[in-house]
Amino acid sequence: MNKIWLIIQREYITRVRKKSFLVISLLAPLLIALTTVGIAKFSSSSEADVVAVHDQSSLNLLARLQDTDELHFVPAAPGSLAAAQAAFEKAKPRQEALLDIPADFTLDNTQGIQVMGKGNVALKRQLNIRKAVTKAVSELKMARSGIRQETIDDLQAKVELAAINLDEVGGKRNDAGTTTAIAYALSILVYMFIFIYGVQVMRGVSEEKSNRIMEVMISSVKPFQLMMGKILGIAGVVLTQFALWLVLSWGITTVVAPLLLKADKPTATAAAPVASSATATPATGTTAVVTSPAATPSSSETLGEAPRPGQSLGIWSVLGGLPIGSILGGFMFFFLGGYLLYSSLFAAIGSAVDDQTDAQQFMFPVTIPLILSYVVSISVIINGDPNGPLAFWLSMIPLTSPIAMVMRLPFGVPAWQLALSGTLLVLGFIGTTWVAARIYRVGILMYGKKVTYKELSKWMFYKG
């Protein structure tokens, strides 16, 4: 154990002192946060798009088009469409789109509307304009039929469901969106760290073998001790970097990000003035009932429901319905177990090859279970039944359980399944370590020979 401990210290201190480790550990969370904030700030414009409306119909749709946070409708230059286009091209300040409503546009013939822009009109802008026009035409149709918007709103019902976990004492409420997000995040972390640091183990062994350092080290320690020391030493590096990322991410999300995103939100542009009294539409000869601004649903009512009495919206109330203890404990156990299992296989690959090109043929069968477990678990666990038979077996097989079980944890896993999966993972790690050690003890001293799968199988049964 003393020799293994010395190897662990060497691997840990050597890697932690590298500038690349410090740069990645300290700057990666900040770069990710800055990139995310930058994308959010640039993707969401602070000003609404100005849309010029050239309305040739007799419906006066411009008066019906309501401004939103994304769109602000203004009248186009009077006259022909060519004149409106010319004015649109020279408009100061810039107008983002020109909406042309033809003269033959009626409530029964809603074809022919065009959206023009300087270059391609963005899909989001097209959808927003179509939504505004559709709403205006729908209001006119309802008015022609004698139906009021208030009547439609009263008839519509929004039913919300609260998911209750009856396995918890007294039943606990859980949020499907939060549960799914946590499952995604945990599985990505496990996949990323296993793959990145498992490959580091393989490359470290391969480089030391190429530099003939192994020949000196084997004279003092056994191959198994060398392999275990390297795997556990890099495991310490993994935990250190993971802890640094957690602390820095917490600090960034609670301190830095709010400061970067702190800005005055632009007030919603006032809606286009509409008549508050009934007006006659020449196209249909019927009376169009125009609701007053007070009767129009506010933006807050449209975008989301106000909190109801007794409804908790805090993050801690949402997390309170999740098995936090089993999530954290299970994540750390399967995270480390998966890393140790796959790192032993990667160490065996590194000892068997002389360069990184030869390593590719042996990496493929090792990484296939890791990749498949992530891809299949998304459809089976997150988008399917997290307690179904396929999800159960994925979380029991040692090669797939590190990701599948971690993905199931936020949904709640029975204690006996956690215990069984953990036991099988430990047994799987012992088995893969035995196989890797048999290959490792021969491979680290094998030079200049192209290794095949048949050759690897022979190494496993060499005596000595």
Same domain for 183 and 145: no
CATH of the domain at 127: 3.40.190.10
Question: How many angstroms from the chain centroid is the CA of residue 421?
Answer: 27
The answer for residues whose C-beta is within 8 angstroms of residue 395's C-beta and 6 or more apart is 401, 404, 405, 408, 413, 417, 421
Q: Alpha carbon of 185 to those of 62, 178, 381: distances in Å?
A: 46, 11, 14
Is 353 exposed, middle or buried (CB count within 10 Å of its CB: 0-12, 13-18, 19+)? buried
- pLDDT tens for the chain, 464 residues long, are 788 888 888 888 988 888 888 888 877 777 777 777 677 666 655 678 889 999 888 888 888 888 888 888 999 888 888 888 888 888 888 888 999 998 888 888 888 888 988 888 888 888 989 999 998 888 888 888 888 777 877 877 777 766 666 655 445 555 667 778 888 888 888 888 888 888 888 887 877 777 777 777 777 788 778 888 888 888 888 888 888 887 887 777 676 556 655 544 444 444 444 333 334 343 344 434 444 333 444 433 333 343 444 444 444 455 555 667 778 888 889 988 998 899 888 888 888 887 767 777 788 888 898 888 888 888 888 887 888 889 899 999 999 999 999 988 888 888 899 999 999 999 998 888 888 888 887 877 777 677 777 888 888 777 75
Same domain for 197 and 127: no
Same domain for 441 and 392: yes
Residue 19 maps to a domain: no
Q: CB count, 10 Å around CB of 81?
A: 16
Residue that finishes a domain, picked among 119, 153, 187:
153
Domain carrying residue 105: 49-153
Q: What six digits make up the tokens of 43? A: 């993707």
Helix, strand, or coil (residue 100): strand
Same domain for 139 and 66: yes
Query: Among 54, 66, 49, 40, which Cα is nearest to 124's?
Result: 49
The answer for residues whose C-beta is within 8 angstroms of residue 424's C-beta and 6 or more apart is 396, 397, 398, 401
Same domain for 326 and 193: yes
Judge whether 60 and 103 are in contact, CB under 8 Å. no
Residue that finishes a domain, picked among 120, 153, 186:
153
Find where tokens 């549960």 sit.
179
Residue 95 maps to a domain: yes
Same domain for 212 and 91: no
Residue 71 maps to a domain: yes
DSSP result, 312-372: --SHHHHHTTS-HHHHHHHHHHHHHHHHHHHHHHHHHHHHH-SSHHHHHHHHHHHHHHHHH
Same domain for 222 and 128: no
Residue 194 maps to a domain: yes
Find where tokens 């505004």 sit.
132
Residue 108 maps to a domain: yes
Q: Taking the CA atoms of the chain, what radius of gyration do you get in angstroms?
A: 32
Judge whether 405 and 391 are in contact, CB under 8 Å. no
Judge whether 162 and 176 are in contact, CB under 8 Å. no
Give 181's Cβ-side CA count (13 Å radius). 8
Q: What six digits make up the tokens of 438? A: 């048999």
Q: CB count, 10 Å around CB of 27?
A: 12
Residue 262 maps to a domain: no
CA distance 162 to 172: 10
CA distance 266 to 68: 11
Q: What six digits make up the tokens of 99? A: 């909406």
Residue 163 maps to a domain: no
How many domains in the chain?
A: 2
Same domain for 355 and 389: yes
Same domain for 106 and 224: no
Q: What is the pLDDT of residue 397?
A: 92
Residue 226 maps to a domain: yes
Residue that finishes a domain, picked among 99, 120, 153:
153
CA distance 221 to 216: 9
Same domain for 144 and 191: no
Q: What is the pLDDT of residue 280?
A: 38
CA distance 394 to 17: 38
In the beta sheet, which residues pair with residue 115? 99
CA distance 453 to 28: 38
Query: Among 132, 144, 76, 137, which Cα is nearest to 110's?
Result: 137
Same domain for 351 and 209: yes
Q: Alpha carbon of 158 to those of 89, 175, 178, 397: distances in Å?
A: 44, 18, 21, 43
pTM to 2 decimals? 0.64
Same domain for 104 and 234: no
